[in-house]
């Protein structure tokens, strides 16, 4: 049997978070989107699956892609029910709790509005394993080949399915039932990124925390403003708003709201590492942190590991991608895991990262403690860290490029255990990411610049 790592490299369409690309171009053109729906239906037929729930974010291309995928599913006899604009974790919840055979989300998460994507969840609410994604890819390419011979069944477009308010309310009820309300009033600024949170966050927070005073920003999507200088890609936006409005706390989501970042009352951004520290301590005190363990990724700061160790908590590292964090959590019996970027998985409550659920947990912990967010995470001493992105024309194995491999080895030898070097490709974009941590900022920038230059020379656009 092929190893998971080998299967990841074999896949041509699926990345770490579904299928991504430029909307309207392969593989998100109508014909291929239709073929993806057909391929998923054929996969489901092997287990007698006949019901799928579909949702989408607020990009102007999301409806047409949802239509094409739905048409492909319907052409193979699958019943499709739409939840309309809803968060990615909302679809994961509905797939599991409403007994659907699969859930599909049309979203490119934090990417620009010109991109889009297709994510698939199984009936258990988990993202599909790499091996199943590879099988579906084979079906997709077979379907494309059939279409090229003019034998594609049905139509390439479906009629737009109305979104079910009942399904969205089901998800909101799940959120507010899982976390006790805050015990004191807080003034909040919430940035919805002009994305899927715009349709869910206001109702969820109003129903959950009646003592909360909430001001929403960037909750007016127009199809092209999702993630546009707002949301979790730009956490400084909500941080500034918190200071200007003299609020207690800020929350900011990405386009499909599967992650959340925060800002304290001083306007300091609180990232996923700090949230993991806060949640791990709280869960350990309550006896809910199984095995005194959490799972982070290779990108989490060394300072998090040190702070957790002082609290008697072990940290394991997984490859980047909440899908792989979850795999490591299930393998090691962990109930908490996540990423520096704000994907936090509370496995007792959900099967995937959920920005709204994370927000409710943080608000609950802050409200119950009587302390500010800054006080609760103030002892997290962060090693200087820089992350640089290099746009590449192809994803050739980096350690097989002599000048890149040499620059990475030089950095590792120089840091000698007093820092970290992580160089990897993005799973969702044509980018190489270079992350350096070091006690010396001068060293950090020198080696990051050296590796970036080597990648640009070999692979840069």
Catalytic sites, residue numbers: 109
Six token digits for residue 84:
């309309």
3-class state of residue 453 by DSSP: helix
**Helix, strand, coil in percent for the chain, rounding step 5:** 45, 20, 35
Terminal C-alpha separation, the chain? 36
269, 235 Cβ separation under 8 angstroms: yes
Query: 15 Cβ partners below 8 Å, 6+ apart?
Result: 427, 428
The per-residue DSSP string of 96-121 comes to HHTT-SEEEEE--TTS-TTEEEEEEE
Torsional class of 180: left (φ above 0), alpha (ψ -120 to 50), beta (otherwise): beta
Six token digits for residue 157:
């477009």
The per-residue DSSP string of 116-175 comes to EEEEEE-TTSSBPPHHHHHHHHHHHHHHHHHHHTT---S-S-PPPPPP-HHHHHHHHHHH
Q: Which helix (H) or strand (E) holds 295?
A: strand 293-297
Burial 95-111 (b: 16+ CB within 10 A, else e): bbebebbbbbbbbbbbb
């Amino acid at each position: 049997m092929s190893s998971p790592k080998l299967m990841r490299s074999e896949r041509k369409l699926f990345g770490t978070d579904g299928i991504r690309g430029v909307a309207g171009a392969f593989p998100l053109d109508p014909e291929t989107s239709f073929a993806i729906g057909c391929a998923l239906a054929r996969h489901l037929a092997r287990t007698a699956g006949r019901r799928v729930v579909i949702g989408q974010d607020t990009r102007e291309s999301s409806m047409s892609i949802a239509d094409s995928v739905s048409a492909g599913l319907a052409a193979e006899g699958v019943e499709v029910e739409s939840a309309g604009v809803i968060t990615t974790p909302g679809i994961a919840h509905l797939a599991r709790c409403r007994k659907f055979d699969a859930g599909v989300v049309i979203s490119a998460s934090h990417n620009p509005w010109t991109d889009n994507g297709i994510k698939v969840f199984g009936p258990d609410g988990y993202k599909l394993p790499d091996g199943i994604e590879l099988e579906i890819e084979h079906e997709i390419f077979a379907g494309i080949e059939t279409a090229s011979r003019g034998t594609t069944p049905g139509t390439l477009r479906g009629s737009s399915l109305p979104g079910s308010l009942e399904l969205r309310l089901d998800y909101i009820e799940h959120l507010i039932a899982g976390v006790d309300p805050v015990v004191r009033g807080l003034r909040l600024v919430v940035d919805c990124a002009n994305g899927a949170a715009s349709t869910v966050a206001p109702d969820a927070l109003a129903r959950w925390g009646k003592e909360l005073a909430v001001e929403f920003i960037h909750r007016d999507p127009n199809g092209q403003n999702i993630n546009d200088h707002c949301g979790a890609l730009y956490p400084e936006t909500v941080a500034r708003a918190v200071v200007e409005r003299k609020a207690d706390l800020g929350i900011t989501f990405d386009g499909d709201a599967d992650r959340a970042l925060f800002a304290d009352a001083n306007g300091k951004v609180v990232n996923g590492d700090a949230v993991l520290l806060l949640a791990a301590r709280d869960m350990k005190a309550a006896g809910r942190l199984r095995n005194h363990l959490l799972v982070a990724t290779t990108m989490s700061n060394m300072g998090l590991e040190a702070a957790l160790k002082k609290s008697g908590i072990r940290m394991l590292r997984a490859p980047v991608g909440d899908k792989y964090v979850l795999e490591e959590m299930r393998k090691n019996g962990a109930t908490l895991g996540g990423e520096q970027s704000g994907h936090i998985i509370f496995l007792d409550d959900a099967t995937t990262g959920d920005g709204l659920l994370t927000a409710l947990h943080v608000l609950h912990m802050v409200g119950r403690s009587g302390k500010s967010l800054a006080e609760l995470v103030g002892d997290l001493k962060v090693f200087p860290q820089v992350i640089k992105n290099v746009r590449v024309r192809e994803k050739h194995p980096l350690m097989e490029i002599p000048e890149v491999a040499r620059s990475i080895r030089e950095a590792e030898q120089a840091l000698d255990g007093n820092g970290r070097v992580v160089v990897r490709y993005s799973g969702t974009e044509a980018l190489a990411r270079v992350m350096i941590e070091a006690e010396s900022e001068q060293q950090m920038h020198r080696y990051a610049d050296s590796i970036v230059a080597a990648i640009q020379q070999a692979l840069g656009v």
